[in-house]
Amino acid sequence: MIMGIELTTIYLTGLIIAGSLTLINALLGDILDFLFESVPGAFINPTVVLSFIAVLCGSGFIFENSTTFDSLTGFLISVVIALCLVVLLHMLVLAPLSKAESSIGFHMTDLIGDYATVTTSIGEGEDYGEIIVKTTFSIRGFPAKSMNGLPIRSGEEVQIVDVDKENQVLLVSVEEKKMITEEKNHE
C-alpha cells in the first residue's frame, strides 16, 4: 500500500491512463509531438514514455496479482521489462518509421531531365500551366512554365529542364526533347 492505496489499484489506474493516452497519441500524434518538441531541451518521444508507463503498470499489475514476489521485487522486474520493451520498440519500430517518413519525399530538382505531359496549356511568356509527371510509384501534377516563353499545347510531351525555386515551378521545353530525339535518330 502506498498512502492507503493498494498497489494493484495504482498499477491498474496507470495502465488505463497510459493506454488511453497512447490511443490519443496515435490519433493526435502530430499535435503531441509538436508539444513535446516545443519544450526547450526536450528529446523525449511521447510514444516511448507512454509505452514505458503502460508496460510498467501492466507487468507490475501481473506480478502483484500472480506471483509471490514482494512488491519491490515485482516493481524492479517490471522496470527492467518495460525498459527492454521500450528500447526494442524504439529501435525496431519508431526509429525506422521516422527515417521512412523523411525519405518518402523528393526534391523538385530530382525531376530535371524527366519527361512529362502538359495537361493545362502553358501560355506565352510568364504564363503557367500544369504538367503530369509519371514516376515509378506515382503520377503527380506540377505547375510549369515554358523555358523559352513559347506556348505549349495541352497533350504535348515536354522535358523538364530546370526548377524556378523561388516560385516552385518546373521549367519545361519541347525543344530540348526534340533535340535529344533528333540526336538519337542521327546516331
Mean of pLDDT values over 23-41: 66
Regarding whether 97 and 56 lie in a shared domain, the answer is yes
Q: Quick: pLDDT tens for 54-88.
A: 999 999 999 998 888 888 899 999 999 999 999 99
Does the pLDDT of residue 39 top 90, yes or no?
no
Regarding whether 65 and 84 lie in a shared domain, the answer is yes
Q: Quick: pLDDT tens for 101-135.
A: 444 456 778 788 889 999 999 988 788 899 999 87
Regarding whether 98 and 11 lie in a shared domain, the answer is yes
Regarding whether 116 and 39 lie in a shared domain, the answer is no
- Say how far apart CA 155 and CA 141 lie, in whole Å: 13
Helices 29-38, 46-66: axis angle to 10 degrees equals 100
DSSP annotation string for 100-162: HHHHS---GGGGTT-EEEEEE-B-STT--EEEEEE-SS-EEEEEEEESSS--B-TT-EEEEEE
> How many folded domains does the chain comprise?
2
Higher pLDDT: 135 or 149? It is 149
Mean of pLDDT values over 160-174: 88
Provide the grid cell at 167: 516560385
**Last-in-domain residue among 42, 74, 103:** 103
Percent share of the chain, pLDDT over 70: 79
**Last-in-domain residue among 50, 68, 103:** 103
Regarding whether 112 and 99 lie in a shared domain, the answer is no
Domain of 13 in residue numbering reads as: 7-103
Regarding whether 77 and 133 lie in a shared domain, the answer is no
